[in-house]
Chains A and B, each alone.
Chain A
Amino acid sequence: MSAISSTTEAPRRKKLSPRKRAQRIRIVQYAVLVLAVVLAALTIDGRQLQQVFFRPDLVVQTFGPQLGTAFVNTIIYTAGAFVLGLVLGTVLALMKLSQVGPYRWLATIYTEFFRGIPAIIVLLAFSLMGVAFPGFSFPFDPYGTVWVALGMVSAAYMSETIRAGIQAVPKGQIEAARSLGMSPGMSMQRIVLPQAFRIVTPPLTNELVLLTKDSSLVYVLGLFASGYELTKFGRNLANSFANITPLVVAGLCYLVITLPLTYLVRRMETQQRKATR
């Protein structure tokens, strides 16, 4: 049909072949890019930029044992919160799939509540627990406070992910497990959950990356220097130097954590696909 009409209607001007058209569009794209780079090079003062964002002497001063402590603290805050969130998130996911109505409602209320309010408020609220309940303090303070606060928030997100993962495991898997005499609990634990976690590894890693960045919220807490994480550390230095450089260094440190993480997961996924698909 279209072939006929295109030959009968004589084209008024010579049309480009699709290949030539694509070629021209590509040329235009490159031209725009080159133009933008040239303009940027002409207008931006590289020296000034470096003085503001990446002053070498301040970079050197930023590096030191305290940066190491902050780096390790960021990892400790994140890892603890992630483990807690993972355990609590799994429990919540199982509650959401429970036969018992009240468990489902509780889990849903929990999720909606903690997904709906800012993490920083949760963190501040938990940091004031000692004031609200005199004599009360989380174990491993300040780590315990951060773990519980961030863990509870991330559990809300993770529970939804894990629930979806559990439901993505084919029904036949449970039937096969049950037909071998496994109880419902054992089928869940030995057959469904291992497959579910495999399915949700990528989204859970995203959660871990988000959590790494959310650990920066710790900077709102009044902490001793030993409890500083990257953001608090970078901000303090930036204030005292009146320069952004320490914050840029801190930001790059986050990339040191998050980039290998995403790379690692991508590799694990490929290996799993090779093994199981």
Chain B
Amino acid sequence: MTVSQVMPTGNREDEIQIYDLHKSFGDLEVLTGITTTVHRGEVVCVIGPSGSGKSTLLRCVNLLEQPTKGRIFILNEEITDPDADVDHMRTQMGMVFQSFNLFPHLTALQNCSIALVRVLKKDPEEARRIAQENLEKVGLGDRGHSYPAQMSGGQQQRVAIARALSMDPEMMLFDEPTSALDPELVGDVLSVMRDLADGGMTMMVVTHEMAFAREVADRVLFMDGGVIVEEGPPEEVIGNPKEERTRAFLSRVLDPTHVHAGDEDTAYAQRHRTAPDHDGNGKLPPGTGFHSPGGVG
């Protein structure tokens, strides 16, 4: 069956359905055939080395990136259909970015209410009430009148979560929500996300926080080189990985102090097959990883 014949399952529980998703930037293939389904209330954590395509996958789901090939259904409606009402479908998925992307010219309350008023055409008073409610949900009920610049990174990210929640979305997409935060601020954001997960929100989370993935995720996707290498419950994928690539990645992430210099570069070059394979047995000559001329930044 070719991908163009794929039909959505029609099951209300299958909120995000991704079929044979490909994405290239010019000659660089970032995603090479991703197929997966995220179910209602499920928390899916996407892990993997940098450049593995996990952020691209997430950005394809709400079409911030246009897939090269493949189809994506949101609530059984195809978002990759050229005639889809993408703006409306996006109101059903909240997105949280690595760099917060709060609107700096608006207060926290205005950040949360602007789309309610302008997109959902809610009454401004009603919108304000919803915004305040969601700010309280993330523990920032008293900071409504602050501008983003007056808040810490952790607070800004929680406002960003409140902003997404204000739209009352069916699902939430998180793109490395804690990667830009100082370590001591990560906890607040993660605890808000844990509350969300406990409340039954459907979540797709690209993250490097292995402890969070292990504790909160229902399912973990390990991506490498543009494909899903391994997926399953966290205790299997993170606790007892079957694939060599997963094991190598986890050992580098969980114990970065004991990684040999250049290991990651070599692994990176192998994943992207950018360096010439001199001796033909799959091993790279020492050092080629780092200086590989075709290295992808």
Contact = CB atoms under 8 A, between A and B. Distances in A.
A181 B87 contact: yes
Contacts of A180: 90-91, 114-115, 119, 163-164, 167
Nearest to A176: B101
B104 A179 contact: no
B278 interface: no
A178 B101 contact: no
Contact of A190 (B88, B118, B120): B118
A182 B95 CA distance: 13
A180 to B, nearest CB: 4
A175 B95 CA distance: 10
B129 to A, nearest CB: 18
Contacts of A276: 104-105, 147-149
Interface in A137-189: 170, 172-173, 175-183, 186
Given A190-B114, A275-B147, A276-B147, A183 B101 contact: no
A173 B101 CA distance: 6
A276 to B, nearest CB: 5
A176 B147 contact: no
Contacts, number: 67
Interface string B16-40: 0000000000000000000000000
B91 A181 contact: yes
A68 B130 CA distance: 54
Q: How large is the interface on B (under 10, 10 to 19, 20 to 34, 35 or more residues)?
A: 20 to 34
Contacts of B147: 275-276
A179 B118 contact: no
Chain A binding surface, main DSSP class: helix
A179 B105 contact: no
Interface residues of A, number: 21
Contacts of A172: 97, 99, 101
A191 interface: yes
Contact of B115 (A173, A182, A195): A182
B103 interface: yes
Given A179-B93, A179-B164, A180-B115, 19 more contacts: A172-B101, A173-B101, A173-B103, A175-B101, A176-B101, A176-B102, A176-B103, A177-B103, A178-B90, A179-B62, A179-B94, A180-B91, A180-B164, A180-B167, A181-B90, A182-B115, A183-B87, A190-B114, A276-B147
Interface string B167-192: 10000000000000000000000000
Interface in A248-277: 275-277
Given A190-B114, A198-B105, A276-B105, A179 B149 contact: no
A176 to B, nearest CB: 4
A275 B148 CA distance: 9
Interface in B90-133: 90-91, 93-95, 97, 99, 101-105, 114-115, 118-120
A56 interface: no
A194 interface: yes
Interface in B129-181: 147-150, 160, 163-164, 167
Contacts of B148: 276
A194 B87 CA distance: 21
B97 A175 contact: yes
Given A190-B114, A275-B149, A181 B101 contact: no
